[in-house]
Amino acid sequence: MSKMAQEFDAINLSQGFPDFPVSEELINLVHREMMAGNNQYAPMAGVAPLRNQIAHKAQLLHGVEYNPDTEVTVTAGATQAIYTAIQAVIREEDEVIIFTPAYDCYTPAIELAGGKVVNVPLRSPEFQIDWDEVKKLVNRRTRMILINTPHNPTGTILSEDDMEQLERITSGNDIIILSDEVYEHIIFDEQKHESVSRYPALAERSFVVGSFGKTFHATGWKVGYILAPENLMREFRKVHQYNVFTVNTSVQLALAEFMKNSENYMHISNMYQEKRDFFLSKLEGSKFKVIPTSGTYFQLLDYSEISDEKDTEFAEMLTKKHKVASIPVSVFYHNPTQDQILRFCFAKENETLEKAAQILAKL
């Protein structure tokens, strides 16, 4: 959709990346580290100051202890963390439960490892997990359950009750949890991010994935991290050593310095909540139905009162004719649905959001 947006000169609210600048302080820190000569390989698990800051953040936000030496690894973005965790533990015929719509890197990573994707659909407009359905699908081949909160593309979040259900389902078996928490710092309306790391019975079997690209709106830097208990992290690093070995040194050191001030990551939600509210205020009175978003920088809009076209066709028409690009939600499903819902990224300058909303409101 980004390519189509460029080709047709459309406002691009499709792909999930911010169009506003990265903090000047952070950029200066990267420059400083480069000029100081920190340009050679970092240690395999990541530089110690950054691992320490990541462990400190988990302690500060969730009151949990991760040993920075043995339980924290810096990765080339969340995508590599997810891929590597899956390759480390999934073998031929292992089953992995995923919930769709889902971010697109899960299924290929599972299938490349020889695993089998077991899909649980999240139904619109609530997109809640039906835990009874999950319970029925769990069997002795189930090796992993992959969750994502806050959730791309729907903007939903998992609750304390969801975590308790997950705890019940995984109690007494050896199922591993992979928890994609890249939008951990983008959560709205005073709600709380329920990290699996807060739940000891879950944390002891979980990989938890984060992304500095999302948190510091620097998606192009591709730096993220993964947390896991030592026994799982040992397996993770056996693969990590050979699929990337390590991540760029100067950016890691700069991130470590920047994170010393927790203010730099504690209040990111406020900025995005303002953007969500701004975008929605400009859509007031339009025929689009708003599906509430609790986190991430994505807004789902239902266009069923405007057209009965398939979402892929409607998204294409919207890009080519009206010059606003979005993503049709059916592409995030295992078995595409007939829902008439599009995903819009609101991590954009207000001017861009206003221009897009003015066009959408007229439809």
Ligand X SMILES: Cc1ncc(COP(=O)(O)O)c(C=O)c1O
Binding residues for ligand X (CB under 6 A): 16, 77-79, 103, 148, 152, 180, 182, 211, 213, 219, 222, 224
Nearer to ligand X, 115 or 210 (CB): 210
Tell me the closest approach of the beta carbon of residue 223 to ligand X, in angstroms: 7
Residue nearest to ligand X (CB): 77
Tell me the closest approach of the beta carbon of residue 273 to ligand X, in angstroms: 18
Nearer to ligand X, 68 or 224 (CB): 224
Tell me the closest approach of the beta carbon of residue 139 to ligand X, in angstroms: 27
Tell me the closest approach of the beta carbon of residue 136 to ligand X, in angstroms: 26
Distance CA 281, CA 66 (A): 42
Nearer to ligand X, 152 or 250 (CB): 152
Report in angstroms the alpha-carbon separations of 44 from 49, 178, 236, 247, 267. Answer: 14, 21, 12, 8, 31
254 in Cβ contact with 325 (< 8 Å): no
Nearer to ligand X, 101 or 282 (CB): 101
Tell me the closest approach of the beta carbon of residue 256 to ligand X, in angstroms: 17
Cα dihedral 30, 32, 35, 38 sign: negative
Tell me the closest approach of the beta carbon of residue 219 to ligand X, in angstroms: 5
What per-residue string of b and e applies to 324-348 under the rule 16 or more CB within 10 Å gives b?
A: bbbbbbbebbbebbebbbbbbbbbb
List CB contacts of 204: < 8 A, sequence separation 6 or more: 229
Nearer to ligand X, 22 or 138 (CB): 22
Tell me the closest approach of the beta carbon of residue 347 to ligand X, in angstroms: 11
Amino acid letter, residue 135: K
Taking phi first (over 0 means left), then psi (-120 to 50 degrees means alpha), and beta for anything else, what does residue 222 get? Answer: left
Distance CA 304, CA 23 (A): 39
Tell me the closest approach of the beta carbon of residue 93 to ligand X, in angstroms: 26
Tell me the closest approach of the beta carbon of residue 86 to ligand X, in angstroms: 13
Report in angstroms the alpha-carbon separations of 201 from 82, 96, 178, 333. Answer: 21, 19, 14, 30
- Of 147, 148, 139, 135, residue with least CA distance to 93: 139
Nearer to ligand X, 16 or 115 (CB): 16
